[in-house]
Amino acid sequence: MFSDISTAVIILIFLTLSLFLLLKKIFKFSFAYDSYLNYLWTFSLIFAVSEVVSFEIAIWILAFLCFVALREYFSLVDIRLQDRWGIWGAYLSIPFMIIFIQLDFYGMFIISIPVYGFLVIPFLVTLGGKEVKGTLLSVGIIDLGIFLLVYCIGHIGYLSLFSTWWAIMLIANVAVCDSLATLMRNWKNHRWSNASTRCFVSIPITVSLTLVLSYWTGIPWFHCTILGILIPVLAAIGRHTIRYIEKDLGISRDLLRPGRGQVLDNLRSFLYAAPVVFHYLRFFSMRSDVF
């Protein structure tokens, strides 16, 4: 009975977002979070497919999202033409990692990119040509891309394998943090422009939301409170770090569009939160006396 209600709620979330996006397109009204909603819809699609059809299909939707993010990243960075073998290796790291998530092979998942990916990419870069200058920079650029946009985002997929509601809890909390950060950043009162202030304002809401969702997540109230505090901090760190990278790449927040920083900008808050929350929940869920 609980499983049926849980699935129904997940489907309702997906249908609500789908209806909103459809009405927005039909009536052509603008919304402050237009592009961000597309990624929330993508995550809701992943969760709905996982619950109704199969996780094995849903995880490949996440793989496609990683591909889109990585492709945008490579279109923005200054990389040599001869590094194409390293770029192809980066794209192939996506199915390489996704298969281990499908198989629930945690040991291989956790080392798939930080060990094998990081060892293979430098070798592939050296196969592209005889020009030596710039090799170190190319390796660093490619490795950073697959670490952030494949490996870190991949943790959302593994989290949903453990529990779809754990992944929903993460996505919902990060969405709240991002929404509040955008609202307060655009507020004329300069006191709210401080990143730490925006983070602390989010905490009471994320703690409350995590506690409310505990009915479905099954996470004890103590850990809900910790996660409600932890997620806004991690989301803020992700926004801060990626914003520096965006500035280095010459990305203007006012000119964001697909292929020109929009994907990277919308996913940045998940890049720190996803792996940390995943390992936190995995560690404590494996202790039967805690969960």
Task: Please check whether residue 106 lies inside any domain of the structure.
Answer: yes
Question: What residues contact 131, with CB distance under 8 A and at least 6 apart?
Answer: 80, 82
Instruction: Say how far apart CA 94 and CA 194 lie, in whole Å.
Output: 36
Region for residue 257 given its phi and psi (left: phi exceeds 0; alpha: psi -120 to 50; beta: otherwise): beta
Average pLDDT over residues 90-107: 96
Task: Please check whether residue 171 lies inside any domain of the structure.
Answer: yes
Q: How far is CA 243 from the centre of its chain?
A: 15
Summarize pLDDT for 113-124 with one digit per residue, the tens: 999 999 999 999
Q: Where are the alpha helices (DSSP H) in the chain?
A: 2-27, 34-52, 55-76, 84-102, 106-111, 118-126, 135-146, 153-162, 164-186, 195-217, 221-248, 262-267, 270-285
pLDDT score recorded for residue 190: 55
* Greater model confidence, 45 or 200: 45
Q: Which residues of 215-252 are buried (b: 16+ CB within 10 A; e: fewer)?
A: ebbebeeebbbbbbbbbbbbbbbbbeebeebbeeeebe
**Residue 143: which pLDDT band, with cuts at 50, 70 and 90?**
very high
**Token reading at 161:** 């394998």
Report whether pLDDT(129) > 90: no
Contact in structure between 267 and 149 (CB atoms under 8 Å): yes
Q: Which helix (H) or strand (E) holds 146?
A: helix 135-146
- What Cα–Cα distance (Å) separates residue 276 from each residue in 23, 128, 193, 231, 291? 36, 35, 26, 9, 18
Phi, psi angles (nearest 5°) of residue 265: -65, -40
pTM: 0.92
* Greater model confidence, 212 or 184: 212
Summarize pLDDT for 210-257 with one digit per residue, the tens: 999 999 999 999 999 999 999 999 999 999 999 898 888 887 776 666
Q: Which amino acid is at 208?
A: S
Report the number of distinct structural domains present in the chain: 1
Give the domain extent around 56.
2-285
The Cβ of residue 50 has, within 10 Å, a number of other Cβ atoms equal to 23
Summarize pLDDT for 252-291 with one digit per residue, the tens: 776 666 667 788 889 999 999 999 999 999 999 887 665 6
Task: Please check whether residue 291 lies inside any domain of the structure.
Answer: no
**Token reading at 15:** 């249908």
Average pLDDT over residues 69-86: 92
Phi, psi angles (nearest 5°) of residue 289: -80, -5
**Residue 2: which pLDDT band, with cuts at 50, 70 and 90?**
low
**Token reading at 241:** 């770090």
Closest CA to 198 of 183, 208, 212: 183
Summarize pLDDT for 24-60 with one digit per residue, the tens: 888 777 765 667 888 999 999 999 999 999 999 999 9
| Cα torsion angle, 169, 165, 158, 63, sign | negative
Task: Please check whether residue 290 lies inside any domain of the structure.
Answer: no
pLDDT score recorded for residue 290: 59
Contact in structure between 73 and 149 (CB atoms under 8 Å): yes
**Token reading at 165:** 């509601």
Residue whose token pair is 């950043």: 185
Summarize pLDDT for 145-182 with one digit per residue, the tens: 999 999 999 999 999 999 999 999 999 999 999 988 88
Task: Please check whether residue 118 lies inside any domain of the structure.
Answer: yes
